[in-house]
Amino acid sequence: MKNNPLPRLDEDSALREQLLPFCRLKQGEVWQDPAGRHRVACVDATNEEQVRSLVEEDRATLAIQDPPYNLIAFDLRHIEAFTNWCAEWVRLSAEVMSPDASFYIWLGADQNQHFQPLPQFMLMMQQLDLFQSRSFITMRNQRGYGTQKNWMAVRQELLYYTRGNPFFEVQYTDIPKILRGYYKNINGKKTENLERGRSDNIRPGNVWVDIQQVFYRMEENVSGCYAQKPLKSVERILQASSRPDDFVLDLFAHSGTTLMACEQQGRRCLTADLDPIFCEIVIRRLEHFRETGKTGWQNGHPFEDVPDLNQQAVSEE
What fold does the segment set 13-292 form as a domain? Answer: Rossmann fold (3.40.50)
Tell if the pTM clears 0.85, that is, is over it: yes
Structural contact between residues 159 and 137, judged by C-beta atoms closer than 8 angstroms? yes
Lowest mean pLDDT among 59-73, 98-112, 144-158, 178-192: 178-192
Mean pLDDT of the chain: 89
Q: Which has more confidence, 275 or 202?
A: 275
Which tens digits make up the pLDDT trace of 83-111? 999 999 999 999 999 999 999 999 988 88
| Residue 195 reports pLDDT greater than 50 | yes
What whole-number distance in Å separates Cα of residue 264 and Cα of residue 243? Answer: 13
**Confidence at 9, pLDDT banded by 50, 70, 90:** very high
> What single letter denotes the amino acid at residue 91?
R
Which tens digits make up the pLDDT trace of 166-194? 999 999 999 887 765 556 677 777 776 66
Burial class of residue 238 (count of CB atoms within 10 Å of its CB; 0-12, 13-18, 19+): buried
How many CB atoms sit inside 10 A of residue 162's CB? Answer: 20
Q: What is the mean pLDDT of residues 120-142?
A: 95
Shortest CA distance to 289 belongs to which of 316, 307, 310, 269?
A: 269
What whole-number distance in Å separates Cα of residue 235 and Cα of residue 231? Answer: 6
Beta strands 97-107 and 60-65 are parallel
Shortest CA distance to 246 belongs to which of 261, 224, 262, 257?
A: 262
